[in-house]
A and B are shown apart, each in its own frame.
Chain A
Amino acid sequence: MANVSIKALNKSYGPVDVLKDINLEVEDGSFVVLVGPSGCGKSTLLRSIAGLEPVTSGAISIGGRVVNELPPAQREIAMVFQSYALYPHMNVEKNMGFGLRFSGTPRAEIDARVSEAARILQLDPLLKRRPRELSGGQRQRVAIGRAIVRKPQVFLFDEPLSNLDAALRVNTRVEIAKLHKLLKATIIYVTHDQVEAMTLADKIVVMNQGRIEQAGKPLDLYYRPANRFVANFIGSPAMNMFEVTVKSRSAVQTKSGAAIKTQVPLEFKIGEALTFGIRPEHISAAKGPANFSVTLDMVERLGELGYAHCELGTGEKLIVELRGEAPVSRGQKLQLAFDDANVHFFR
């Protein structure tokens, strides 16, 4: 396994810049997830690392070797595609061993590696089947098996769970995490699902419009998002955000005039316009003094968990996470409180 180092990477299609000044370090054996909305460039970045797309400038290094000029086969990578990309005319065994046929690996070695991978992924009973005889989850495992057989320095996953149904997705997510520990593999993984990112990653890289917004440990991004975009992207339901002006060192006022009591850090001046953010799960009914009050619009109950959709001021919507059977009714005025440590201010 090796580390991956990307320095000052730029990629343009003619006049359009799709990747802008990407700098990223992937430590050996770590699981890095590239996440972001559609079109943010995460797949393009992955494919550039793989060698399936040329880059305009910058350097990609794998294991200390600059690989810009090398074709994919020589970069010692293996890729798992969103649609699995299994060869329809070959059975599972041949699919997994296909790449090695052309690299001069002796037959016995190929067979050994294939059975090893099959054992790890529990594919033994399926070895002689064709892809069309397999279920989605099975095909996905074969795709992973094909990658393992190559014994690459880096594994690249391109939205591998997108085509699976919800239940299977959860199971397979756990399987992938276990695989990572077992193989001690360096994995770069692309997804648009922030839940996958949060649960699988050692490091999350949030991308937007070709740029890296923030990279770091999942909980770092959760508790200390660097900007509005990351704050909004990580966490579900999304963070509540309001445009406010600083009224005093201990209060801010929203656009519609509602007041929120909170300690304002010294770096922000009185009268400054900021975005105030607080996550739904960090707000609760006030037991003592309240930080602000809202009007309840509607409650969604999912058993133990519930979401209260409230209105702070005209047109300013807020979601609060409820636990247990908190009695609330429509139109009710709620007094809410939060810990100042969980408040985020963005310029």
Chain B
Amino acid sequence: MAQDSQIELVGLNRRSYIRVLAFFLLPAVLIYSLFSIYPLIATIVDSFYLRHDQAPMTYNGLGNFYTLLGDTTWSVPFWNAFRNNCYFFLIHMCVQNPVGLALAGLLSLPRLRLRNAYRTLIFMPTMLSVVIIGFIWQLILSPLWGIWKMLLGSVGLGYFFGPYLGEESTALITIALISVWQFVGIPMILIYTALLAIPDELIDAATVDGLNQWRAFFYVKLPLIWPTIGLVSVLTFVANFNAFDLIYSMQGALAGPNFATDIMGTLFYRTFFGNQLQLGDPTMGSTIATMMFVFILIGVMIYLFLIQRRMQRYSF
């Protein structure tokens, strides 16, 4: 049996072998199970129960979910948050990732001077805390300080200015763009690395074949990095449906104006902890968390089974 020959190889008897395994594995598995897996399962289980203040918990089946999705007091904010989240995600997919791709493409051009300087500097906002970034932009966009208005004015778009963060129609897209501005470095670095892995001789062959840089990018480089782009997409998805920090620090737990910037994360926080408008409700909070988990799971499944299968990693 393979297991026995492994033990022989290692020169230990069965009991010491198990002891060795336990020593190496247990710490990690314990902490992970205790603080990561158990809470998640507990949350999911929790969402099937009702809890009223001091009364003991009662089993409620899918009741909480019906309430969340059907009862207007809950469902309106929930679907609002969900819709906002989807919008948030779309902006990232359509702006952040293409820009990251373009920057990575430019950075990977052969014989580019100052390449490392650009890469380091463009990545800088990603290093900073979301709190800081959010606040910086709040200041810049603030009508009181007027910087943004000045900049727009200098390119003749002065009429475009408004209190973006205070208006329902513009708040979410503004925050989304700020988030894009901050995190463009991540797809940029990931795609840049994948582009570096393409052997130079392949690009030479394309050059000899008569392709200019544009064509070489679209016909040779891009097809070879699809797996990375797929990975970036799924990471964007998970990160967006988990987002909270930026909106909380810019618009507070109420995700104003009038819940226009409310996403799943802020809804979860508000429900769980309570705020001026409502008491904290852990079970509904758990229910929301479970729904978030379901969404994320669906997204990851789509990635794993549909996209990951189709995309092949090319070894060179």
A contacting B, Cβ–Cβ less than 8 Å: yes
Chain A contact residues, CB within 8 Å of chain B: 50-52, 71-73, 77-79, 81-83, 85-89, 98-99, 102-103, 132, 146, 150
What DSSP secondary structure best describes chain B's contact surface?
A: helix
CA distance A78 to B315 in the complex (A): 25
Chain A positions within 8 Å of B211 at CB level: 73, 99, 102
Contact B208–A103 (Cβ < 8 Å):
no
Contact A85–B202 (Cβ < 8 Å):
yes
Chain A positions within 8 Å of B224 at CB level: 88-89
Q: Mark B254-271, 1 if CB is under 8 A from A, else 0.
A: 000000000000000000
Chain B contact residues, CB within 8 Å of chain A: 199, 201-202, 204-211, 215, 219-220, 223-224, 314-316
- Closest chain-B Cβ to A150's Cβ sits at a distance in Å of 8
What DSSP secondary structure best describes chain A's contact surface?
A: loop
Assuming the contacts A85-B201, A88-B224, asked whether A132 and B208 have C-beta atoms less than 8 A apart, the reply is no
Assuming the contacts A52-B208, A99-B208, A103-B210, asked whether A82 and B215 have C-beta atoms less than 8 A apart, the reply is no
CA distance A78 to B206 in the complex (A): 11
Assuming the contacts A132-B314, A132-B315, asked whether A87 and B220 have C-beta atoms less than 8 A apart, the reply is yes
Chain A positions within 8 Å of B199 at CB level: 83, 85
Can you sample 11 A-B contacts with CB below 8 Å? A52-B204, A52-B207, A72-B210, A77-B208, A83-B201, A85-B205, A88-B224, A98-B209, A99-B208, A103-B210, A150-B209
Contact B208–A87 (Cβ < 8 Å):
no
CA distance A81 to B209 in the complex (A): 13
Chain A positions within 8 Å of B205 at CB level: 79, 81, 85-87, 146
CA distance A79 to B206 in the complex (A): 10
Q: In the A-B complex, list the 7 residue pairs whose CB atoms are closest, starting with the nearest.
A: A99-B209, A73-B210, A85-B205, A88-B314, A85-B201, A89-B223, A72-B208
Task: Give A158's nearest chain B residue, CB to CB.
Answer: B201
Contact A81–B201 (Cβ < 8 Å):
yes
Chain A positions within 8 Å of B215 at CB level: 102
Chain A positions within 8 Å of B210 at CB level: 72-73, 99, 102-103
- Closest chain-B Cβ to A310's Cβ sits at a distance in Å of 45
- Closest chain-B Cβ to A77's Cβ sits at a distance in Å of 7
Task: Give A80's nearest chain B residue, CB to CB.
Answer: B205
CA distance A62 to B163 in the complex (A): 66
Chain B positions within 8 Å of A102 at CB level: 209-211, 215
- Given A50-B208, A52-B204, A85-B201, 11 new contacts (CB under 8 A): A52-B208, A72-B207, A72-B208, A73-B210, A79-B205, A81-B201, A89-B314, A98-B219, A99-B211, A103-B210, A132-B315
